[in-house]
Amino acid sequence: MPTTYLDKLFMFNPPHEKNDIDDLFVNRDDDLAHGVEFFYDHISLTQIHVIHGHSRMGKSHYLKRLINRLKQKKLPFLFYDINANSKQRARIVLNDIFDALKKEIFAFNPELHGVQKDTPAMQHISVAKDMLIDISSLVTGEREQMVCTQMRERIVHNQTTFSLLPKFIQAIWQSGEERKIGEEKQWMMSGLSNENVIELIKYQADLLMNKLLPDEKKSILLTVDDLDLLYVKPGGDEAVMHLLTFLNQLASESLFNILVTMRTEAFHDRQKDMTPFRKIGLLDDIEIKDIYHKHLECFNSSQPIFSDQAIDFLLECADGCIGDFLKNCHSIFNDNFGWYKKGNLIDVNEIKNHVEKNISEHLRFRETKSLMLEIINWVKKEKKQEFSTNQPIIALFLDRILTRDSDQPDRYYINPLYLNVIKEYSKNNIPIST
């Protein structure tokens, strides 16, 4: 089996594959033990619990590793994970939760769980499936109205079916919203509100936990990653508050445990709506080195990429943030891959040349020259990481050079890698070639 996977070597976003999630989780053992012990004692929570920390601290990786560990321990949960990042509207996240539970219901195999086909539970699941087929397009917003053929046939021929439907659907049926299509009357249903979707989610959860899996599972552990990044443009705070309101409605039910990740600054603004679960903080240099060597072990046969001096320089620039460290490693390694393939380690000089090359490219292009000059002059004059400008920031700068402040959208932070090189070149009067 090959032991070199250069595409994964310095991946700075949370890993997705189970083995990578587990193998790359280093130096967070106390955090992990706390999380596992907590859920041994708390099968049902009553409020949203929050994993928080500043950007690129490893919150998402910790969440993924915790869920894997809880599964390994066979705790009695149904697990569902949702990512809220850039979904823009709370309703889209609700739709994702609805779809996850719907798939579980349709995938339920009675033989695997020892459920007889002619039991009330199976009658209930049959009714639920027809109902979900009829209204799924209304939940997602694909349609504004639906002809509910499946439900109408069931209710007309079997009144017992009526009592197995969600309360709001019973109310709609009793209102008699029918329309004649051809020679027959058809039951019409219009678009569903957020409250309707929440009721549907609770209905599906009750069906799964109390009717289909009462002896196997105790509650649903629903994780929502990057909750505060739902919508990062103006108006985003309102969208996040809507989502928190909806999730708290679910968390108040004994069927649900809600565990989310968000940045610490966003958590502090909304503490009254949530309970802190774990803060994921900075790592020291030794801990980050351990993670670096674990990446080499997993994806490069333990062969080094950077010299020891280069690692020390990158650690200084990362200032304890593992995500920034890996992201800098990723970009520098990619740009110096040819040098590495010739049998060379990437040293401090190659790192500084990498930064100088990127700055030079920005100075040569009309679209980026003005902003790059402003950043250089800012560093020379202010000599600090915080940066503000009236110029529009293009995505190219946010990829490597600048990070937007989560509280003040017009304020940015200069990547210390670039900050240090610009300072050094300025101090030693070394021109940046254009």
**pLDDT value, residue 51:** 96
Tell me: pLDDT of 161 over 80. no
| Highest mean pLDDT: which range of 169-183, 235-249, 303-317, 378-392 | 303-317
User: Using 50, 70 and 90 to split pLDDT, how confident is the model at 175?
Assistant: low
pLDDT digits (tens, 9 = 90+) for 289-315: 999 999 999 999 999 999 999 999 999
The DSSP bridge partners found for residue 274 are 48
Confidence of residue 179 (pLDDT cuts 50, 70, 90): low
Tokens of 365: 């292009």
Mean pLDDT, all residues of the chain: 86
pLDDT in tens, 335-390: 999 999 999 999 999 999 999 999 999 999 988 999 999 999 999 888 788 998 88
pLDDT at 282: 94
CATH 3.40.50.300 intervals, the chain:
18-109+196-279
**pTM for this entry:** 0.88
Residue 17 has pLDDT above 50, yes or no: yes
Inter-CA distances, 66 with 5, 109, 210, 226, Å: 25, 28, 26, 16
Q: Token pair of 416, please?
A: 């210390």
CATH class for domain 18-109+196-279? alpha beta
Q: DSSP 3-state assignment of 193?
A: coil
Burial class (CB in 10 A: 0-12, 13-18, 19+), 142: exposed
User: What 3-state class would DSSP assign to 166?
Assistant: coil
